[in-house]
Chain A
């Protein structure tokens, strides 16, 4: 690594800032990658945290001429495999074919993560205020979802079904915007 500052302490500080900048740019895509491979909030959160720590620990080995995102995903993939090994002992959920297919396709569509984010925000505005509020509470993780259902006076299954419908509508809305963009180019 090339030292940027004029003292070892300054250089370390600069490296820290550089790491934060690189990770900040990549974090959303990295989390999307992990979640695609381990589609469970709790597991993905754990692996994402482990990945951040491992990236920082191994940042000395990072070659700045390489794509930080690709390097980060390599490490994340290693941790996903380790997680999967552990899961296998508890009853494996995802197959090798699944992991290979998702990982391979992800790198091809990586820019779509950002595009979907922007379009999702537009589509969220198309929801009624009631549905937006329901979705926000459901996804915020701050409340038990059963409590939300009880609060709005509906069954848990009913709320869950509504959220699925909202999710499907949003996926289609986001896709529709992307296609409209593509056709206008």
Chain B
């Protein structure tokens, strides 16, 4: 047998096979099944395995096979320990051919009345119950990323009382419990701080996604409850996602958690499913069927990992920026400077199209550009950043933004004919300091965030999608050219008969008085220049 098929593909084949067996497929679906099976020996094998199992199940269902005899005959000799409970785990990591995969199946029988009732706070009454049972905040909001709250909208560092419902329509928010447990919520999400009266080390996730980390002794046992389950931390980092359908996904990034179902099918307590690092499980929203799967390939696991890696707490560790946004062109339907007086004048037929953030300015590469009346770039200690997307390669340099007078003055960003990014500053007459992204190239049709900083201390630095890709120590300042231009070489000098026009889109062009750090530029990339400035201002308060 070869490596397992991706879970989504397995699910699709099962769906098609079951539909085919019961004559429920459309002709298109039948042809899709036929095509899939013929396309790959692995799919062919999985397909036949599904049918063989179906045959055997039907025979068993008709009384033709007797499980007890088969068990008595073969269970003892199997090297895989098969627990008594209605779930089982098969760790493919242990197999030499499956080192990269974890594929298993867990079937979880659940108990009636094990916890008495479901965990869901039935209404806002829950909030009152919990609040009255626990005095004072049990958690604090320590970070946000573009949060769009519905209802309660706490600022950073707000203490959160037990029972408080948080509804995040979009964006990310991070909580830190007094116990030390940290929870990152990603909207859309509905979450209660404290899952039941008196509980100060738990939360209730109605719908949405979160990642929790529990590294302190006090946070051990931190519990995330959902409508039909309870995920208990045993010293770890894990993610939980509840779909609107009720399907539960749990991913363990490190450590161990126990997953318990609250639903009842049989009259006995459910055995907890213990998940360890790099294991992931999906629990059916209706009957508590849990399947373990390969977290490396599973979209839920990947999104959980991404959420943790991009948690907003990182933002609070960014030192307050001394830089001030002095010019910002959002290109949301116009070329106005949203923070200053450097409004643009359009040449050619620049249009406004859906961009990276709102709208972007679109240039056809043939006479379209925007020029500002004055130069917003300070002589030194400044930052220039933008989102750019090229429509086609240029035989000459393609200018993004900046100022230039021949080889005597200016500072600018452009893309070279080989698609590398270039930043240049001219600190003195005929002295040109440059930084190039030799290892990173723009991709036609893809958005790239570009930025250059110039400072007396660190010289010229060039950033490509938030990462430092080039520098020029001697680029500590520039001679002011006074002709700040977007999408064309600023001066009239032609290269190969061309004014080096930009063909494609440009968005969110911004100039700061001050050199932003790499962390700050990463935030600019994630939040946008305007939101970054709001964020910095909020922190300063």
Judge: A and B partners, yes or no: yes
Choice from B51, B57, B78 contacting A32 with Cβ under 8 Å: B51
Task: Specify which chain B residues have a CB less than 8 angstroms from the CB of A112 in the assembled complex.
Answer: 49, 52
Choice from B10, B20, B60 contacting A120 with Cβ under 8 Å: B60
CA distance A140 to B52 in the complex (A): 16
- Do A179 and B92 touch across chains, with their CB atoms under 8 A apart? yes
- Do A128 and B108 touch across chains, with their CB atoms under 8 A apart? yes
CA distance A138 to B44 in the complex (A): 25
- Do B107 and A126 touch across chains, with their CB atoms under 8 A apart? yes
Judge if A53 is at the interface, Cβ distance under 8 Å. no
Task: Specify which chain B residues have a CB less than 8 angstroms from the CB of A116 in the assembled complex.
Answer: 49, 52-53, 56
Segment of B93-101, B421-429, B502-510, B523-531 in the binding face:
B93-101
Judge if B393 is at the interface, Cβ distance under 8 Å. no
Task: Specify which chain B residues have a CB less than 8 angstroms from the CB of A102 in the assembled complex.
Answer: 37, 44, 47-48
CA distance A91 to B98 in the complex (A): 41
- Do B45 and A173 touch across chains, with their CB atoms under 8 A apart? no
CA distance A145 to B75 in the complex (A): 32
Assign chain B's interface to a size class. Answer: 35 or more
Choice from A91, A165, A170, A181 contacting B27 with Cβ under 8 Å: A91
A87–chain B nearest beta-carbon distance, Å: 10
**Which residue in chain B gives the minimum CB-CB distance to A185?**
B79
Q: How many A-B residue contacts, CB cutoff 8 Å?
A: 238
Segment of B66-74, B394-402, B404-412, B490-498 in the binding face:
B66-74
Supposing A127-B86, A131-B265, A169-B107 touch, asked if A122 and B75 sit within 8 A by C-beta, the answer is yes
Supposing A98-B37, A131-B289 touch, asked if A169 and B56 sit within 8 A by C-beta, the answer is no
Judge if A183 is at the interface, Cβ distance under 8 Å. yes
Choice from A31, A128, A158, A166 contacting B286 with Cβ under 8 Å: A158
Supposing A39-B17, A176-B80 touch, asked if A168 and B70 sit within 8 A by C-beta, the answer is no
Judge if B150 is at the interface, Cβ distance under 8 Å. no
Q: 8 Å CB contacts to B: which residues of A158-181?
A: 158, 160-181
**Which residue in chain A gives the minimum CB-CB distance to B29?**
A93
Task: Specify which chain B residues have a CB less than 8 angstroms from the CB of A100 in the assembled complex.
Answer: 38
Task: Specify which chain A residues have a CB less than 8 angstroms from the CB of B17 in the assembled complex.
Answer: 39
Judge if B88 is at the interface, Cβ distance under 8 Å. yes
Interface SS of B by simple majority = helix
- Do B38 and A95 touch across chains, with their CB atoms under 8 A apart? yes
CA distance A161 to B246 in the complex (A): 13
- Do A126 and B265 touch across chains, with their CB atoms under 8 A apart? no
- Do A120 and B90 touch across chains, with their CB atoms under 8 A apart? no
Task: Specify which chain A residues have a CB less than 8 angstroms from the CB of B69 in the assembled complex.
Answer: 121
- B23-48: CB near A (< 8 Å → 1, else 0) gives 10001001101110110010011111
Interface SS of A by simple majority = helix
B104–chain A nearest beta-carbon distance, Å: 6
- Do B70 and A122 touch across chains, with their CB atoms under 8 A apart? yes
- B74-85: CB near A (< 8 Å → 1, else 0) gives 110011101000
Task: Specify which chain B residues have a CB less than 8 angstroms from the CB of A169 in the assembled complex.
Answer: 105-107, 289, 291
**Which residue in chain B gives the minimum CB-CB distance to A152?**
B287
- Do A166 and B289 touch across chains, with their CB atoms under 8 A apart? yes
Task: Specify which chain A residues have a CB less than 8 angstroms from the CB of B439 in the assembled complex.
Answer: none
Judge if B1 is at the interface, Cβ distance under 8 Å. yes
CA distance A152 to B25 in the complex (A): 25
- 11 A-B pairs whose Cβ atoms sit less than 8 Å apart in the complex: A95-B31, A112-B49, A118-B70, A121-B56, A128-B86, A130-B265, A164-B11, A172-B104, A175-B49, A180-B90, A183-B96
Chain B contacts to A: CB under 8 angstroms: 1, 4, 10-11, 14-15, 17-18, 20-23, 27, 30-31, 33-35, 37-38, 41, 44-62, 65-71, 73-75, 78-80, 82, 86-88, 90, 92, 94-98, 103-110, 265-266, 284, 286-287, 289, 291
